[in-house]
Structure 1
Amino acid sequence: MTKHTDHLIVISFDCLSSLDFPILEELPHFQQFLRKASICKNVETIYPSVTYPCHATIVTGNYPKRHGVINNTLLQPGRPSPDWYWHRRYVKGTTLYDEAKKAGMTTAGLLWPVTAKGKIDYHMPEIFANRPWQNQIPVSLLNGSFLYQLDMNRRFGHIRKGLNQPELDDFVLESTVYTIKAKRPNLMLIHFTDLDTHRHLHGFSSIEAHAAIQRHDIRLGRIIQALKEANIYERSTIIALGDHSAMDEEKAIKINVLFRERGLIDVSKRGKVRNWQAYCNSCDGSAYIYVKDEKAKEIVQTLLNELLKEESNGIERVLTSKEAADKGADDHAAFMIEASKGYYFTEGLEGSFIDRITAEDVKERRYTRACHGYSPEKADYTTVFMASGKGIRENVIIPTMQLIDEGPTFAHLLGLHLGETDGKVIEELLL
């Protein structure tokens, strides 16, 4: 295949929504970028619309049931902090960065989800210390490019304050700018989470979220400037995108509390799950329900049908395993449930079935103010795609596209092929 660009820079602004576009158009660096960019203001995300499945979709062109990353977190019933789908081994099939590497291209990945232990030349994976005995820096070093990360930490580690934002994204930005100038990668995948973090903590339209968008504008400007200083700007393609939107919530639903009451989950006196027949695995705005046998499935189905009758229970829809699979979600779950507007699911086992979220809850990180994971069919829930540079037509407006289309389009730009994918190349964008 013909290569259409020498350097593809993919910048994921986590939780950037179509509703943010009017703000972007007023910010100086986005405004300048958009003068020649081709855009789609209505990108349909995937189900469940959470970060790790979304980013695996972006680099594979496939739905979660096909690439295998069906949620952010693994099914680990009762664990206060479940492990995430951090590692490349969870992705079935090939990826954009695998194909680039095979073609002899230089690759870089900074906090791109589901890449730990992946074969990326300059690699700072998104993974965090999830055991009391672990330390963040060694965990990162051992799962990415050891010497590269040591160098980035030596140069810019003073900026970071653990996983806090905006300092984490500021650290990623400085590492990105340095990597562009020093390494000039052919493919660079960058993941910024500042906006997502502040929407979770403060709400979709909060002052804090707006400030994060303004910081992202500065980050975009710095990256473009770095490409110019590296003398590769004219040979580069810049992609700025979101992975999903978000919605505010007021109440948290704990389905596992009801499962426990019905004897489907056995919890020890110390609060640990000893055994379970049914379990609600949260995707925030949606959730998977897993069962061990047909008897448990019948009990769960009866319970869910009862809950659906009362609007105040916060469940908008119950999907069968087949219906979930038809939407690209995990077909191993017995059911998938969708939260109503203003609600979201947690895996809590204690207390009442539904909690009203208070300021104290958010402060103590028990619950959040906004989340995602909802069905792509929810109103005002699309994300955005913006592309400019080598190989891209100027000022083309794509009315609608899907997240699954991004990977095949990126592969085409680099003269690569991802094989048979759920998504397609957006030909209208390309020269």
Structure 2
Amino acid sequence: MTRLTDHLIVISFDCLSEHDVPLLRELPNFKAFIEKSSYCTQVETIYPSVTYPCHATIVTGNFPNKHGIVNNTFIQPGRISPDWYWHRSHIKGTTLYDEAKKAGMKTAALLWPVTAKSSIDYNMPEIFANRPWHHQVPVSLFNGSPGYQLEMNAKFGRLRNGLRQPELDDFVLASTVETIKTRKPELMLIHFVDLDSQRHMYGFSSAEATAALHRHDQRLGSIMEAIKAAGIEEDTTVVILGDHSALDESKVVKLNVLFRERGLIQTNSSGKVTDWKAYCKSCDGSAYVYVKDPYDLVTKNAVSELLTELAQDEFNGIEKVITGQEANAKGADGTAFRMLEAASGFYFSEAVQGQYIEEVTEQDAQTKKYTFACHGYSPEKEGYHTVFFAAGKGIRPGMEVRSMHLVDEGPTFARLLGLDLGDTDGRILEGILDI
């Protein structure tokens, strides 16, 4: 297969939305990029529309039920902080970076989800210390490229402030610029989280979110300058994309509180889950309901009756209840007993204590107990699209794609690099390619 570009740089601005496009067209670096790009401002995301399944979809071209990353975190009732799908080994099938590596290409990734312990040459995986005896630095080093990460930390570690934003993205940017100039990777995946963090904490259209977009514009400008400085501008394709949008919310739905009251979840004196028959696993704007024993008809009937009752009143925060089979048809985890969609203004928590519905307060957001905006909602929600812009070698400029799906991105990237991801759920966007 003919290779259309020598270098592909994919920049994921987490939570970049269709509603951001008017501002992007005014910001200098985004404006200049968009004017020479082919693009889609109506990209349909996946279900559930949370970060890790989305980014696994981007590099595989498949829905979550096929690539296996069905949520951000594992089902671990009783864990205060469940483990995330950090590792490459959780992805079923091949990925864009695997195929690039097989073809002898130089690869790099910075905080790209689900890449821990992958074969990427220069890898700074998104992973954090999730045990009291763990420390962030060795956890990152052990799961990525040690020498590369030590070099980036030595040069730019002063920019970081733990996992806090915008400092973390500032560190990622400095490392990105250095990597482009000194390594010139043929495939580079970059994940910026500043915008997503601000929207969670302050709301979708908050001043803090707008400020993050301005910072992203500066980051984009720095990356484009680095490409020029590296002497690879004419041979490079750059893609800017989002993984999902977000919606404002002010109320938390805690279904596990009702499961505990009905004896479907057991806790100890401190409120920690010790056993369960049914469990609501949050995807923020949606949720899976799992039944521990698939043959436990008593529990299934109890859950069905409760959900039917709750769904009759919009003030209970549940807009829709679908079966595991129906969830599977949408690309989500078909092993779940039920999948729930939150009503407008609501999202789901896995908490087992307190009230079934709780209001989000300013203090909750500051302590990161709850948020003011989130994602995970159904891609069928109105005004919930993300975006895609591509420019450079191998891209026909000025082509508008009216509609596309997140699963289409991986196959299109593979085609640009002359690679094949096999039988994917997505299609190649041939109309934007200069073949």
Matches within 5 A, 1:63-212: 63-212=63-212
The structural deviation recorded for 1:80 is 1.1
Paired residue secondary structure (1:386) = strand
* Residue type at the aligned position of 2:265: I
For residues 52 and 218 of structure 2, the distance between their equivalents in structure 1, rounded to whole angstroms, comes to 25
- In the other structure, the counterpart of 2:394 is 391
1:401 equivalent to 2:404? Answer yes
Deviations 1:315-367 (A, max 9, x none): 00001011100000000100000001100000000010000111111111110
Paired residue secondary structure (2:340) = strand
The structural deviation recorded for 1:261 is 0.4
Choose the corresponding residue for 1:301, options 301, 304, 310: 304
So what's the TM-score if we normalise by structure 2? 0.99
* Residue type at the aligned position of 1:236: T
The structural deviation recorded for 1:78 is 2.3
- In the other structure, the counterpart of 1:34 is 34
For residues 335 and 144 of structure 2, the distance between their equivalents in structure 1, rounded to whole angstroms, comes to 31
Matches within 5 A, 1:44-55: 44-55=44-55
Deviations 1:285-330 (A, max 9, x none): 0000000222211100000000011110010000101110000000
The structural deviation recorded for 1:34 is 1.2
For residues 195 and 250 of structure 1, the distance between their equivalents in structure 2, rounded to whole angstroms, comes to 19
Paired residue secondary structure (2:59) = helix
For residues 429 and 299 of structure 1, the distance between their equivalents in structure 2, rounded to whole angstroms, comes to 51
Matches within 5 A, 1:303-342: 303-342=306-345
For residues 367 and 182 of structure 2, the distance between their equivalents in structure 1, rounded to whole angstroms, comes to 41
For residues 324 and 339 of structure 1, the distance between their equivalents in structure 2, rounded to whole angstroms, comes to 15
- In the other structure, the counterpart of 1:381 is 384
* Residue type at the aligned position of 1:115: T
Deviations 1:99-149 (A, max 9, x none): 000000000000000000000000000000011111111100000000000
* Residue type at the aligned position of 1:209: A
Unaligned ranges ≥5, structure 2: none
- In the other structure, the counterpart of 1:413 is 416
* Residue type at the aligned position of 1:286: S
* Residue type at the aligned position of 1:255: L
Paired residue secondary structure (2:423) = coil
* Residue type at the aligned position of 2:361: T
The structural deviation recorded for 1:248 is 0.4
- In the other structure, the counterpart of 1:218 is 218
- In the other structure, the counterpart of 2:430 is 427
Range that drifts further, 265-274 or 122-131: 265-274
Range that drifts further, 270-279 or 242-251: 270-279
1:5 equivalent to 2:5? Answer yes
- In the other structure, the counterpart of 2:275 is 275
Deviations 1:251-286 (A, max 9, x none): 000000000000000001122211100000000000
For residues 266 and 122 of structure 1, the distance between their equivalents in structure 2, rounded to whole angstroms, comes to 45
For residues 174 and 165 of structure 1, the distance between their equivalents in structure 2, rounded to whole angstroms, comes to 14
For residues 51 and 297 of structure 2, the distance between their equivalents in structure 1, rounded to whole angstroms, comes to 32
Range that drifts further, 294-303 or 413-422: 294-303
For residues 273 and 376 of structure 2, the distance between their equivalents in structure 1, rounded to whole angstroms, comes to 25
For residues 365 and 104 of structure 1, the distance between their equivalents in structure 2, rounded to whole angstroms, comes to 43
The structural deviation recorded for 1:186 is 0.2
- In the other structure, the counterpart of 2:354 is 351
Paired residue secondary structure (1:30) = helix
* Residue type at the aligned position of 2:161: K
Deviations 1:187-245 (A, max 9, x none): 00000000000000000000000000000001111101000000001100000000000
* Residue type at the aligned position of 1:203: G
For residues 202 and 116 of structure 2, the distance between their equivalents in structure 1, rounded to whole angstroms, comes to 29
Paired residue secondary structure (2:164) = coil
Unaligned ranges ≥5, structure 1: none
For residues 187 and 364 of structure 2, the distance between their equivalents in structure 1, rounded to whole angstroms, comes to 41
Paired residue secondary structure (1:412) = helix
For residues 243 and 79 of structure 2, the distance between their equivalents in structure 1, rounded to whole angstroms, comes to 27
- In the other structure, the counterpart of 1:23 is 23
Aligned length: 431
1:360 equivalent to 2:363? Answer yes
Matches within 5 A, 1:286-297: 286-291=286-291, 292=293, 293-297=296-300
So what's the TM-score if we normalise by structure 1? 1.00
1:239 equivalent to 2:239? Answer yes
Deviations 1:58-86 (A, max 9, x none): 00000000000000000001211100000
Deviations 1:356-410 (A, max 9, x none): 1111111111100100000000010000000000000010000000000000000
For residues 353 and 288 of structure 1, the distance between their equivalents in structure 2, rounded to whole angstroms, comes to 17
For residues 409 and 243 of structure 2, the distance between their equivalents in structure 1, rounded to whole angstroms, comes to 11
For residues 12 and 368 of structure 2, the distance between their equivalents in structure 1, rounded to whole angstroms, comes to 25
For residues 32 and 367 of structure 2, the distance between their equivalents in structure 1, rounded to whole angstroms, comes to 40
1:370 equivalent to 2:367? Answer no
For residues 297 and 393 of structure 1, the distance between their equivalents in structure 2, rounded to whole angstroms, comes to 53
* Residue type at the aligned position of 2:307: L
* Residue type at the aligned position of 1:301: S
